Structure 1
Amino acid sequence: MKRALTLLLTAALLAAATLGTSAGLSTALSAAGRVEAKKSPTDPQTKRDKVRRQRAAAAAKLDALKADTDQVDRAIADLQSNTKSRQSELAAAKSGEEQAAKNVADAQAEVDAVMARMSTLSSAAKKAAIMAFTSGGESELFTSLLGGGSTDAPVQDLYYNLAVGDLQSALNDLEAAQNQLQRAKAKADRAARAATKRRENVEQKLADLDSALAQQEQLGRSIEDRFDDALAEAEGLADLDATLSKQVVARERAIVARARAAGIKGATVDKNGKIKVPVIPTSQNGLVRVNGVLMDRSIGDAFARLVALAAADGINLTGGGYRSAQAQINLRRGNCGPTDYDIWLRPPSECSPPAARPGRSMHEKGLAIDVRCNGRLISRYSDPCFAWMAEHAPRVGLHNDVTHREAWHWSTNGN
């Protein structure tokens, strides 16, 4: 009996050694397998996501100043779709991370419970072996084991098996506990690897969402610039064609509203930070009036030649030219607020009513003219007067960029 218990003591010591190495093994295994499986590039969902990302990237680069309304609306829709997809993916990733963390906690709790049982059985086996060597005989050992005083069921089973001489059952108890511990550790390791993948997935989805929001901001700035330019032009048009001026503002305001509804707007600016006030644009060479139009002296002779050419064709060429930047500053102060941020940086869409930021228009430099033919503003590209201007104005250095949707606006650089 004593020899058998010696074998049991050896088994108990081996069990204790197993307990001692479990933590290191768990750590080593959980550090492995961190590469997340990727979906096949031919997977339909992967293809759709790739197309969505490509469209969003193209939409972010759209020059809203030159794009037509349909192009801007498509860009807004593409960016909104991409951002919603990224938000959904992030929510799913976070949910998966939470479940993975719970799985890790449950698996570790199971490991802890089995380790506690192993420790108890190992201690009991060692105690039984010591009792065998110190008892006066098998009868005394039998009595000692049955009266061991333990209330733990596995320990009582172990003592009973030893007391009746069933060494194999006692060894089986220890072996079963060791096997259970190995299974619990393997489960915990799998849970740890899965949790690592989930954390990495959340980090990637966060980066994807940040990228999508940055793309929205990029288009938002472009749309605000477009609105700025349109307002600058509309404010000058008010005296020449009030109806057209209102139409321009309404059209551009609707685009800004659709962008805002989709969560797209320009960058947030620190309203309390120090604002660097730009140099107020103005005429560099003094002003001159030609056929009633006030402009920078540098283009006075050129416009005079154009007026003469038009007169030869029976056209009286007039219009609106220079507009004071100070007048625009005063308008912004009234519509947007009194601070430097309000005047120079606040997006026009946040003013009531909207007003362009100072310095946006070539009119403030005296280098642009809103052209009238025989008292009527050129409001359409199909207007015969636009065709006449397109043929003759470039010869004297005045240009119109058709992408700006302003048939009446002619300047030294087309802007």
Structure 2
Amino acid sequence: MLAGKTVLLIIGGGIAAYKSLDLIRRLKERGARVRVVMTGAAQKFVTPLAAGALSHEPVFTELFDRAAEQDIGHIRLAREADLVLVAPATADRMAKMAHGIADDLAGAVLLATRATRLVAPAMNPAMWMHPATLRNVVMLKADGVVFVGPKAGEMAERGEEGLGRMAEPTEIADAAEALLGAGGVKVGGALRGRHVLVTSGPTHEPIDPVRYIANRSSGKQGHAIAAAAAAAGARVTLVSGPVNLPDPAGIAVHHVETARDMLAAVEAALPADAAVFAAAVADWRVAAEAGQKLKKDGNALAPLALTENPDILAGIARRAEGRPRLVVGFAAETQNVVAHAQAKLARKGCDWIVANDVSRDGGHQSGIPGGVMGADSNAVHLVSAAGVEHWPTASKAEIAQRLVARIAVALGPQESQS
């Protein structure tokens, strides 16, 4: 639900503006306070009177409004919103957003806000597929703007159809609810009916009966993601390496030790709608595990021939059949964090990489005493083909909620719900 949340709805100019009236009603049904900004072009399609009657709030239309701007109204509107939603988002509005143009009230609010921005594009298919629009979409996503739609279908223009229809009001409201869940509110049923697969913790690769190769992973982030996905209504399968954490309630947990065990458990858990590979899998194992404890023999070093472990992330991301719709990997780096994550994204074939600096210096710079490993906080970069989003330091639970909200938006509603 959206109780206690303020959604600032910017209605852009286009025939889809009539759907925004229903969107106001859908948001209010979920408990949101809806404040409305209408562009000049929007008022050619629907009236401020109609929007105000549905929102039970004054409707804002002018940047230089004498009454509203006496206390810098556009800044106040921007700062009091928990979410700024642009629906419909025209090609013109998206171009202005991408380039920081603030020549009207909507533009000024979008430039001044610190809230998450959600846009629902609506335009002719030729306009949506124009190289200029596609460039603007890439820029906006890199700036952290979230998209819902557009959808394929018939256009207002007679005889035209294709990709460009605005998403339905219920779908946009679902996306808003999911995104506001990233701010600490439960994401509700945004993933209901979905299966989410999560890996967590380290793997232990035995050297002999008492020694092993491992990574410094506590499993806190992976377990938090599994719990957040379950809270969002998903059926969750958690494949966990050895950790000192309780199993999240209501989740099917498979405990494994080695990378090969983890791969087998992951493959057995498929199919899944989304797979989040947060586990720190050991890259190597010994070629031959010793049956007895290796003993020191004077100054001679123990013979440890290494062999490479299976690449679980790449193997699932590049499956010809049964690949999850969304595959998310993690990158724990100590230098050149974003560059290494971008290279990993291309190399592994996944959709997103969540990257963080696990060096002690990196943790200190993010305000995390002792570094990220084992801590309760994290600071990450979400890397995708669209660009890089830099997420500020937050608790691992908050990072998990934000990631799950993004997953819910990316997957969209179930077909039966649309």
Q: Give the TM-score taking structure 1 as reference length.
A: 0.19
Structure whose residues are more often helix by fraction:
1
Structure whose residues are more often strand by fraction:
2
Q: Give the TM-score taking structure 2 as reference length.
A: 0.19
